[in-house]
Amino acid sequence: MKIDHLRRAGNKLRLLDQTRLPGELIYKELDDYRDIIESIKRLEVRGAPAIGIAAAYAVAVAAHQTDRLEPEYLVEVASEIKAARPTAVNLAWAVDRVMHSLREVDVMDVEKTRLSLWNEAEAIHEEDRQMCAAIGRHGAELIQDGWSILTHCNAGALATGGIGTALGVIYTARDQGKNLRVFADETRPLLQGARLTTWELQQEGIEVTLLCDSMAAMLMAQGKVDCVIVGADRVASNGDAANKIGTYSVAVLAREHNIPFYVAAPMSTWDMAIESGEQIPIEERGADEITSGFGKRTAPEGTKVYSPAFDVTPIRLITAHITDEGVKAGGRAG
């Protein structure tokens, strides 16, 4: 599995503009950290691990935008990048990590500082590849041959630095010879399931069926779903998980129909500084994503809109967390 959507290109960041998928493959090479911030905000790069990687590279890119690397400059840059999106913990975690790599570097030595930042950003990228592979191995042990799996949003290669988290489990199980079928929620309002997950799975030759978010209950009632696997943008220390809006609804439905509900995410997505999902900041998106999605108005002018990008699934609805360190039991059986 190789989707080349995010990587270093000299002293620039090369990324695939995911807002243009599935119709166009448009790559950008960015040499200004502010442009990377905007790409994160516009969801040209998205998925908790991927935006963490992009954020780490953004600090390194910023180091080439000045001849004098004053400590205050880098601190200001780091603060700007960390403010790009609030929910995914990987973003701030990655920025803090690359900044911490400078603790033994004389920041007045410009070349050594730049080298340290690039090395740490690339290390974060490589480690994410390895974490995805480990999640795939651990999760595949839970999957039986012939299963039909429901997923929500996109937690595949496009969302990470490797094979993905939720989809990484599916790819690994497939590589073990298991015959699988995937149902992908369209994932309103930006249709990451329709545009990205189905595209990824088609590249891999995996059978996928697209459905509207509101159809998941009917599918489960008909006995057509064996398990649900989703990703996460932040996991609280008690196991509550924030993921794309609509995930909580799917978890409630899965419990009602006695279907296992798995959350696949690396330990870098766990925020041990917070006790529960009630403390996870939830990003709210612009009204136009709902009233004028993809440039076509679908609601009257002046309509009030509530548009959280994420919701929180409590641990009591999660069968297990699939992490790079192994499978951690959740709060419900089955």
pLDDT per residue over 109-120, tens digit each?
A: 899 999 999 999
Burial 241-277 (b: 16+ CB within 10 A, else e): bbbbbbbbbbbebbbebebbbbbbbbbbbbbeebeeb
Question: Where is the domain boundary, 132, 151, 182?
Answer: 132
Beta-strand ranges (E) seen in 104-240 are 148-151, 181-185, 208-211, 227-230, 234-236
User: Same structural domain for residues 126 and 176?
Assistant: no
Can you give the pLDDT at residue 80? 97
Average pLDDT for 302-326:
98
Q: State the total domains in the chain.
A: 2
Average pLDDT for 99-118:
89
User: Same structural domain for residues 162 and 236?
Assistant: yes
Can you give the pLDDT at residue 1? 54
User: Same structural domain for residues 194 and 176?
Assistant: yes
Task: Decide if 164 is inside a domain.
Answer: yes
Band of pLDDT at residue 70, cut at 50, 70 and 90:
confident
The single-letter DSSP state of residue 293 is G
Band of pLDDT at residue 285, cut at 50, 70 and 90:
very high
- Residue 333 pLDDT exceeds 80: no
Over residues 165-203, the pLDDT tens digits come to 999 999 999 999 999 999 999 999 999 999 999 999 999
User: Same structural domain for residues 86 and 187?
Assistant: no
Q: List phi, psi (to 5°) of 319.
A: -70, -45
Can you give the pLDDT at residue 327? 98
What's the chain's average pLDDT?
96
Burial 10-47 (b: 16+ CB within 10 A, else e): eebbbbbbbbebeeeeeeeebeebebbbebbbebbbbb
Range in 51-55, 92-96, 99-103 the model is least confident about: 99-103
Task: Decide if 106 is inside a domain.
Answer: yes
Average pLDDT for 9-20:
97
Average pLDDT for 325-331:
95
96 is catalytic: no
What is the Cα–Cα distance from 321 to 314, expressed in whole angstroms?
12
Can you give the pLDDT at residue 3? 82
Question: Where is the domain boundary, 116, 132, 148?
Answer: 132
User: Same structural domain for residues 54 and 99?
Assistant: yes
Catalytic member of 128, 185, 213, 233: 233
User: Same structural domain for residues 146 and 113?
Assistant: no
Task: Decide if 1 is inside a domain.
Answer: no
Distance (Å) of CA 64 to CA 59, 120, 142, 324: 9, 16, 46, 34
**Residue pair 319/261 in contact by the 8 Å Cβ criterion:** yes
Q: List phi, psi (to 5°) of 13.
A: -110, 125
Range of the domain at 54: 6-132
Q: Tell me the whole-structure pTM to 2 decimals.
A: 0.95
Can you give the pLDDT at residue 7? 96
